[in-house]
A = this chain, B = another copy of it.
Amino acid sequence: MIEVNIVGTGNVAWHLAKALGAQNNAVVMQVAGRSQASLEPFKHMARHTVTINNLTAADVTIIAVSDDMIAQVSEQIPFDNTLVVHTSGYTAMSTLSRKHKKGVFYPLQSFSKDDVSLHFAEIPILVEAENDEDEKTLRELASMISDTVQVINSAQRRQLHLAAVFANNFTNHCYTVAQDICDQYEVDVKTLHPLILKTAQKALENGPTNSQTGPAKRGDKEVINKQLDLLENPDHKDIYNTLTKAIYTTYGKKL
């Protein structure tokens, strides 16, 4: 049985509390948050709901707060020399207070409040710890809720998090631009849905470089220039120019 504390009441904290709380071999002992209101959704999940100063030690204390609060919150934890982890892809393990046995428990997913049907089993969890015993504990805990558990170091995780910004944040904004264009010209955006799904599936199956198509890949300057003329929004133009240039460069052609 692994006893867990959770510090934080945001989306990651909530999904972790829910997933770990459903396990036979883990128990969420306490959840700490800044206010009673933020703790309200956790009241039926954890045995105790407390402010951070009242936390008592557990096998693993998971800090699931925003990146810029990790150092401060880890310092405020009122015990030392137990395993304390954060859940950030971006933040180094060393950001945690030196009074703890440090670790990282990073679920690689973009969590939203409305993810009621989130399946943790499909979400990779990347763990890191200062020693083998703690690493084993984190692997064991992660394996309870996820089918994909890997050990990577802080430098790799920071790069993986950066890659995820491209794979998630930036692709999602490209979808947003596509939707804007469809809305403006009264074309049903659902017409694009099969293409969006197929693009993702093909990139996974064949690799994205094998799947690249379009005017930039072909070096079709006439289409590129006419499409630039069609774009009215300056940010859309910038995205078109920048990605077209990058695709050109990648596939060995010059503008």
Q: Which A residues, 188 to 211, have Cβ-Cβ distances below 8 Å to chain B?
A: 188-189, 191-204, 206-211
Report the minimum CB–CB distance from A116 to chain B (whole Å).
Answer: 11
A114 CA to B126 CA in the complex, in Å? 34
Give this chain's copy count: 2
Chain B residues, Cβ within 8 Å of A176: 208-209, 212, 250
A40 close to chain B: CB less than 8 A: no
Q: Which A residues, 134 to 184, have Cβ-Cβ distances below 8 Å to chain B?
A: 148, 150, 152, 155-156, 158-160, 162-179, 181-182, 184
Name the segment of A21-29, A43-51, A94-102, A230-238 touching the other chain.
A230-238
Chain B residues, Cβ within 8 Å of A158: 230
Question: Which residues of A come within 8 Å of B, CB atoms?
Answer: 67-68, 90, 108-112, 114, 122-124, 126, 148, 150, 152, 155-156, 158-160, 162-179, 181-182, 184-189, 191-204, 206-217, 220, 222-223, 226-227, 230-231, 235-236, 238-243, 245-247, 249-250
